[in-house]
Structure 1
Amino acid sequence: MTPGNSGASTPEDDDPFGYLYADGQANGAQPPSGGYGYPNAVNRVHTVGKRQYGQPAAAPNGQVPQQQGAYGRPNAHYAAPETLPGGAPTGRQSGQGDGRGPNTKGLLIGAVAVVAAVVIGIGVAMLNGDSDDKGKDKAGDPAATATESSEPSPSASSSAPTDGALPKSDAEALALDGGAAKSSDIKGAEAAGGVYVGNFNNVGASITWTVDGIPEDGKYTVFIGYGVPGKDGTATLTVNGSVSSRPVNLNNWAHAPEGDYEKGWTKTYNWIQLNKGTNTIKISCEQGNQCDANLDQLWLAKGWVKSG
């Protein structure tokens, strides 16, 4: 442009794209050196049909950059993480190592076994306790020995066994010694004819019963029918020549008034050991005994019992 010239005389002279038209080219329009008329612009003008899309553009240095893989297709240069050292595992892993959860069935069986063991242990302990208690009841007081002596039953009179399995004796059949004598003055004796052994309250007085027909060795109980004048007494027991360590308790189980022999009839017992066949049972008044009593009957029971 020159001063006074307001521009090209025709529009194409001022059109930066005039080189694209025939008129512009006829008037000498030239394309800009930077492309699109802008300095340093990338020349993207190509002849129609020459541009091939999808091909990598050449870098300024003439090298073609590596092509990225098409959509949906793996890049040949891509490596999966699991193929690299220390990469991700290739399969699903489980904390148990076999893909299964904890063995809950085994745990349940173990718990049931423990509970069963505890229940069985408690049951055995209870059974043992019952057995011990029953054993104590059956054996009696641990302090009791083969010469246990006490009241068989709170009765005012004696009673002989009725089964007839073992021998029994009235006063008439007893051997007397040391001043003991038979009498029938005091009523209430259950021996035949009301006969009893009196005058027993003297040291050395005794009665001896020779027993025949004991079926076997073992434990027996000897019962003694007697009467006391409202007070307790004692005597000494000897079986087959062996003196018992415990006396015969001639207690006032009938609770008779003092001095009343007639109301003082009762019975007692001692636990003894007998041999098969013949045995001797002796009751005597020895030093230290209180022997003010009348004796009327003796009888036996099998085993160590408290009544018979």
Structure 2
Amino acid sequence: MTPGENGPSTPEDDDPFGYLYADGQARGAQPPSGGYGYPNSVSRVRTVGERQYGQQQPPYGQSAMPQQQAGYGQPNAYYQAPETLPGGAPPSTSRSGSPAPGRRGPNTKGLLIGAVAVVAAVVIGIGIAMLNGNPDDKKNDAGSSTAPTQSQSHTPSPSNNDSPANDELKTDAAGDGVQLAGGATKASDVKGAQSSDGSYVGGLNQVGASITWSVDNVPAQGEYTLFTHFSVAGPDQKMTVSINGKPFATGLPLKNYTHAKDGDYAHGWTTTYVYPTLNKGSNTISISCQPGDQCNALIDQLRLQQGEHTLHG
């Protein structure tokens, strides 16, 4: 190659677009043929819908006759579904459909069984609690209830409730079968006596005065309660009681439980009691004024009841 020469190449060979110029056409430049690529290919712009897949394309510079537009609702000849294209339809990326293998939904059946088991346990617990009750309540009830006991006191409290029991033995202090001695006498001046005729025994305020009751029908041997209805006005009094000739250890207390004023015997009536031991059958009960006793009292009635009792039962 000498200076000034461009070599054997021609402009049409160097310039792929030489066919567009007059001098290039004069030199024999031809438009490139074939597909895309360089240097011997170039993209060709075509009218939309001109190219059809699977059909032979017309030579460059010749336009194919457009096909008639399909009517409304009819398939368009220019459209082809992707699955008819070479290679088939592209893979779908949709996430819909069944879950991937190996994955499972929530175990609703297991949750339901667990919930039923919990409810059953709660119901059973409530039922057991209702059957057994509250242990604390039972303890409180046990602590608050006490078994009734009989009083051992030989000093009774004041009471005007002297109704006799059905199984008791009773006599008027001034009635038949009762012996009065030592100045004791029957009287009825003071109101309030419970004897059948309203009488009572007075004159007991002297040593040797006595009331003796002979009881013939004691049902059984054992301890009894001897109730004595009396009246005291002023200071408390005390006399001696003897059972079958033996003085009772505590004596017979005659206290002013009603707090009657001195001399007001009508408001001093009340009851006292002791617990002597009697034999079955006949027994002798004596109330007397012995040295050291205080005997300023009135006595109107005597009662015996088997066992130890108080004025209230």
What TM-score results when the alignment is normalised by the length of structure 1? 0.53
Instruction: Provide the aligned C-alpha RMSD in A.
Output: 5.5
- The sequence identity of aligned pairs, in percent, is 25
Q: Please say which of residues 191-200 and 219-228 is displaced more in the overlay.
A: 191-200
Which of 56, 71, 92 is 2:91 aligned to?
71
Equivalents in 2 of 1:294, 1:265: separation in Å? Answer: 9
Aligned partner (choices 109, 118, 122) of residue 104 of structure 1: 118
Asked if 1:297 corresponds to 2:308, the answer is: no
CA–CA distance in structure 2, aligned partners of residues 54 and 148 of structure 1? 125
Per the alignment, residue 196 of structure 1 pairs with 201
Partner deviation per Cα, 1:156-196 (whole Å, 9 max, x = no partner): xxx785979523243353356xx733324673365769462
Query: Aligned AA for 1:109?
Result: V
Is the alpha carbon distance of 1:170 and 1:206 closer, same or farther for their aligned partners in structure 2, counting shifts above 3 Å? closer
CA displacement, residues 254-297 of structure 1 (integer Å, 9 cap, x when unaligned) = 65543x37647623221526555334434344565422334343
The whole-number CA distance in structure 1 between the counterparts of 2:235 and 2:274 is 23
| Post-superposition offset of 1:153 | 1.5
Structure 1 residue 125 displacement after superposition? 4.9
Partners of 1:38 and 1:300 lie apart in 2 by 151
CA contact (8 A) 1:16 1:37 kept: no
Which residue in 1 is equivalent to 2:270?
267
Structure 1 residues 102-127: Cα deviation after superposition (integer angstroms, max 9, x where no partner):
33312431452465268554664565
Paired residue for 1:65?
Answer: none
SS of alignment partner, residue 126 of structure 2: helix
Aligned-partner SS, 2:130 = helix
AA of the residue aligned to 1:54: G
Question: Which has the larger Rg?
Answer: 2
| Distance change (3 Å), C-alpha of 1:281 and 1:53 | same
**Alpha carbons of structure 1 residues 93 and 280: separation in structure 2 relative to 1, 3 Å:** farther
Aligned pairs for 1:79-228 (under 5 A) are 82=102, 90-92=103-105, 100-102=113-115, 103-113=117-127, 116=130, 119-121=133-135, 124-125=138-139, 128=142, 131-132=145-146, 135-136=147-148, 139=149, 144-145=151-152, 147-153=154-160, 161=164, 166-171=169-174, 173-175=177-179, 180-184=182-186, 187-188=189-190, 190=195, 194=199, 196=201, 198-202=203-207, 206-216=210-220, 220-228=224-232
Give distance in 2, aligned partners of 1:94 and 1:244. Answer: 92
2:87 equivalent in structure 1:
54
Q: Given residue 151 of structure 1, which amino acid in structure 2 is its aligned partner?
A: P
The question of 1:306 aligning with 2:307 is answered no
- How many Å apart are 1:233 and its aligned residue? 0.4
Alignment CA distance shift 1:208-1:249 (3 Å) = same
Q: Verify: 1:252 aligned to 2:256, yes or no.
A: yes
Does the residue aligned with 1:167 lie in a helix, a strand or coil?
strand
Q: How many residues align?
A: 251
Q: Which runs of 5+ in 1 are unaligned?
A: 40-47, 56-68, 74-79, 83-89
Determine if contact 1:170/1:191 at 8 Å carries over to the other structure: no
CA distance in 2, matches of 1:185, 1:14: 172
Relative to structure 1, the CA distance from residue 245 to residue 109 in structure 2 (aligned partners, 3 Å threshold; closer, same or farther) is farther
Letter in 2 for 1:101: G
The separation in 1 between residues aligned to 2:131 and 2:198, in whole angstroms, is 69
Residue pair 1:239, 1:279 contacting (<8 A) in 2 also: yes
Asked if 2 retains the 8 angstrom alpha-carbon contact of 1:170 and 1:192, the reply is no
Name 1:66's counterpart in structure 2. Answer: none
Match of 2:37 in 1: 36
CA displacement 1:26-58 (0-9 Å, x = unmatched): 9587989xx72259xxxxxxxx99xx9439xxx
